[in-house]
Structure 1
Amino acid sequence: MPTGTALDEVTREADGGIVLAGARLVLDPAGALYWPAERMLVVADLHLEKGSAFAARGVPLPPYDTRATLAALAQMVERWRPRTLVALGDSFHDRGGAGRLGGEERETIGALGRGRELVWIAGNHDPEPLAGIGGTHAQELRVGPLTLRHEPQAGDGAGEIAGHFHPVARLVVRGRGLRRRCFVTDGARLVMPALGAYAGGLNVRDAALAGLFTDAYAAHLVGGARIYRIAGHACLPDR
């Protein structure tokens, strides 16, 4: 249990269930969202081939991020067995990322889409359709009361699920600082954590992110066996 934050502001969520615009959703502790009524699994900001993009610019990052990210995604697909898999944009780190995929990684993506609908939402890093990896491409996806897109739009945001910001929450655990990826929601709009192994993060208290929500927003921390919900005002800003 996190400490250093008022305990009445911290909730360990057994099943990760939330309601957004009337739709019941499940937050996976590994960083995906599952919509049981639609049998839909949603992930955001994979940033595949970021390592190879940096290597081309002379930045020595180990080139294993794509394999690690796809392995995590494959585990989620196996766990939830979705009918539809949606990636909310910035699935590749740049427009040439799909062309740099290795054979094994390309086969993994093919397996992820086998027997289900695979939807690639356009992101700012990958705005055009992705050649040679299957699935369909869309600017956004509207299903029932929810709209799935890459970047949150200005306004009340009712029913919006987006990525782009890579939210992280900072708190104190046993006297030590902890910074962890998280979902952020106020019950109307939800911003998802980045799944990419090399993806960075923006603090939920940053004005660009916090300004999207009402004062009642909460961070739902991922990366462990369970989801932890922390009130937004109880999260700590970066120093």
Structure 2
Amino acid sequence: MTGYQFTFAGHSLMALGSGALFLPDHHLLCVSDLHLGKSERRARQGAAPLPPYETRDTLSRLEADLTATEATTVICLGDSFDDRAAAEALQENEKLWVKTLQAGRRWVWIEGNHDPGPLDLGGMHLAEFTLASLTFRHIAQADQTGEISGHYHPKVSVRARGQTVTRPAFLIDSDRIILPAYGTYTGGLSSHSSVLSDLMRHKALAVLTGSQPLPVPMPRQPGP
């Protein structure tokens, strides 16, 4: 299991190459913006189609992370489904897969802007979740400390080995962590966008996802 280890709000954490955040002392795995059912929602709304395997791919990666970490608590930071109809349209084998992953674990669905309110897929449904000095919510709020959120799908572009690399990325500073989108086919917002630059402190760090997570100072100008 590869990851970038760091300390935040008095807790030991690991930013995994997959885009999941692991808290080993609490056996807790946190993911954000799964957007399950994205291909179904786009087809329903007449948008350009996507290959219809994104839900299975996302669940397969999540299952691998759960196996590797042996996490007993899972927090999904909102926008777990592309909309309510997409959640309801999941195939029966996909719903069973979700319930199998939940078995024997505490599972928390944080409400997002795409999926407000309870869904009939087991687990707890909360607006936010607090654990000691940490608060898990979907969208970052100003003047917070110990906050872990998602929503913005941050991505970062850097020069590496003579070429430009763009990847989803964690954004980390002394007050907050913003997770990358975990779901397959989710887009991203560049770290130099005004909303992310305004949220993150000057010395914020970006950790690019991938087989070897790459920590860099958070870029605040357009990439190379």
Task: Indicate yes or no: 2:213 matched with 1:227.
Answer: yes
Letter in 2 for 1:37: D
For residues 21 and 127 of structure 1, what CA distance do their matches in structure 2 show?
Answer: 28
Aligned to 2:127, which of 139, 150, 153?
A: 139
Corresponding residue for residue 31 of structure 2 = 43
* Distance in 2 (alpha carbons) for counterparts of 1:71 and 1:194: 15
Residue 158 (structure 1) aligned to one of 145, 148, 153: 145
Q: State the alpha-carbon separation in 1 of the partners of residues 49 and 147 from structure 2.
A: 37
The answer for unaligned runs of 5 or more in structure 1 is 1-13
Q: CA deviation at 1:173?
A: 2.4
**Is contact 1:170-1:236 (8 Å) kept?**
no
Residue 17 of structure 2 aligns to a residue whose secondary structure is coil
Q: Runs of at least 4 residues of structure 1 off by over 2 A?
A: 173-176
Distance, in Å, in 2 between the alignment partners of 1:16 and 1:191 is 15
Structure 2 partner of 1:124: 113
Q: What residue in structure 1 maps to residue 184 of structure 2?
A: 197
2:170 to 173, 179, 183: 183
Are 1:66 and 2:55 counterparts?
Answer: yes
CA shift at 1:147, angstroms? 0.1
* CA gap 1:111/1:52 in 2 versus in 1, 3 angstroms: same
1:24 and 2:12 correspond: yes
Q: Deviations over 1:20-50 (max 9, x none)?
A: 1111111111110111121111000000000
CA contact (8 A) 1:19 1:187 kept: no
Instruction: State the number of aligned residues.
Output: 222
Q: TM-score, normalization: structure 2?
A: 0.95
Residues 101 and 22 (structure 1), Cα distance of their counterparts in 2 relative to 1, 3 Å cut: same
Q: Which amino acid aligns with 1:143?
A: L
Instruction: Give 5+ residue unaligned stretches, structure 2.
Output: none
- The alpha carbon displacement at 1:188 in A equals 1.9
Which residue of structure 1 aligns with residue 196 of structure 2?
A: 209
- Whole-angstrom CA distance in 1 between matches of 2:218 and 2:104: 39
Task: Indicate the structure whose relative CO is greater, using CA pairs within 8 Å and at least 6 residues apart.
Answer: 1
Aligned-partner residue type, residue 179 of structure 1: T
Look up the match of 1:172: 159
Corresponding letter in the other structure for 1:178:
V
CA RMSD of aligned residues (A): 1.4
The answer (yes or no) to whether the contact 1:120–1:138 under 8 Å persists in 2 is: yes
Q: Deviations over 1:101-134 (max 9, x none)?
A: 1122111101110001111000000011112x11
1:170–1:179 Cα contact (<8 Å) kept: yes
Q: 1:185 is aligned with what amino acid?
A: I
